[in-house]
Amino acid sequence: MRSAPTILHLDMDAFFAAAEQAAKPSLRGKPVVVGGLGPRGVVATASYEARRFGVHSAMPMGQARRLAPNAAYLVPRFAFYRSISDRVMELLRELSPLVEPLSLDEAFVDLEAGGVADDSAGARAAGERLRDDILAATGLTGSVGLAGSKMIAKIASEEAKPDGLVVIEPGTEKELLGPRSARILPGVGPATGEHLRRAGMATVSDLAEAGEDELVRLLGRAHGASLYRMAQGHDERPVVAERDAKSVSVEDTFDVDLHDRVRIRTEVERLAERCVGRLRSSGHSGRTIVLKVRRYDFSTLTRSETLRGPTDDPGVVREAAGRLLEAVDTTGGVRLLGVGVSGLADYTQEDLFAQAEAEAGAGAEPGGGEGVGEGPGAEEPGTAGGPGATVEEAAGPGAAGTVERHWSPGHDVRHAVYGAGWVQGSGLGRVTVRFEEPWSAPGRVRTFSVDDPELVPAEPVPLVPGGAVP
């Protein structure tokens, strides 16, 4: 444990929703919900205005709409959020070479390693300067926690929300943690929390008083011993600058269960192509191909096949995923499909005989758990035609040669006459667009035919006039 609060945890405030409010003047100060808009969609982020109605992340979107019927509901724009995240991470790396990103909107920083702070006053000054720099660069706010360990710094940033900074001095950890729920500790999820509750341990002080031997008996050697140390306020985990991707994966959830076997195979092949695209863009290849199938009854199967050498060949990945699908019973319908590649390497196996052997039908073997896409290289979950979908042209159902244009709420467009805007909604052959830019006054709403040739998809508008997207 450190003697000064020189580990910083940054958590951007309601990041996806706040980014949309910064980009869309008409949404500022109003409830905004970002997530999947289909029947099975869930909330990714809710603005603080929406949270006042009880909306929160991971809530089914249908429930959110009942709680906040007048909120703006938008699909995510991950490329836009990532561009803002990249700028924030640049600011963190100006403080220290030891920056550990946890997600697009969250990271640890070792201020001591950067030489910017070795005491409480220096750490607080660095944290305040960081918050000012983020606001100036992006127009968004972030909450900062400072402590002598990662665990306590993260707790401090939660206390700082929204748009604040909290310092927890080393030596006060045990007193701080004691009355809190055991769920506050890393590694205590719903199942472990319930197991501890049934054993009479609800708070962190309960864990500390139970002793290490009792926690080991309940949870096993590694987990029990680690939890006991954390209950005492001890966390020696270092800030790690590089978090290697464990896998690269993509997945889609479908609004309506897929029953047709040919359609399911087509979707798997499409996902395999997208996965290889991400694999190549990250500079990796991989040996293990993973297929994830969630069926109509929410049961989830994963199957994997390990090649003799790493590959980034789309044909190899596509065929391997297809072979894995053959071993899965899709009777009753499929609600989610995913394709991933793990066992990553930074080179490609040129052994064509190994690839040919794999394509000839090397046997599939049962995969591991449900987490196909863990790690920084993983694709954000998307919903077909919903979250993550871009404005695109796609063949209309049942009409060869007919093209229907799909417009996703929140996505950027440009009109030949009216300029830049964003989609408010669409249906019945019409699309409604609000024309405004981040630095303008709230704009006017206009409605067009979905196939209006003067209306086209566009790149995100920069948050500052004349600048690049952050």
User: Is residue 145 within 8 Å of residue 162, measured between CB atoms?
Assistant: no
Q: What is the spatial distance between Cα 376 and Cα 291, in angstroms, rounded to a whole number?
A: 19
Q: Is 106 a catalytic residue?
A: yes
Q: What is the spatial distance between Cα 22 and Cα 74, in angstroms, rounded to a whole number?
A: 14
Q: What is the spatial distance between Cα 144 and Cα 165, in angstroms, rounded to a whole number?
A: 5
Residue 182 DSSP class: G
| Token output for 469 | 């997207």
Residue 95 DSSP class: H
Closest CA to 173 of 108, 122, 235: 235
User: Is residue 266 within 8 Å of residue 397, measured between CB atoms?
Assistant: no
User: Is residue 407 within 8 Å of residue 421, measured between CB atoms?
Assistant: no
Please state, as a whole number, how many other Cβ atoms lie within 10 Å of the Cβ of residue 173.
23
Q: What is the spatial distance between Cα 386 and Cα 42, in angstroms, rounded to a whole number?
A: 11
35: left (phi over 0), alpha (psi -120 to 50) or beta: left
Please pick, among 49, 106, 112, 212, the residue that the annotation labels catalytic.
106
Query: Tokens 């159902």 — which residue?
Result: 397
Q: What is the spatial distance between Cα 106 and Cα 84, in angstroms, rounded to a whole number?
A: 12
Catalytic residue annotation: 106
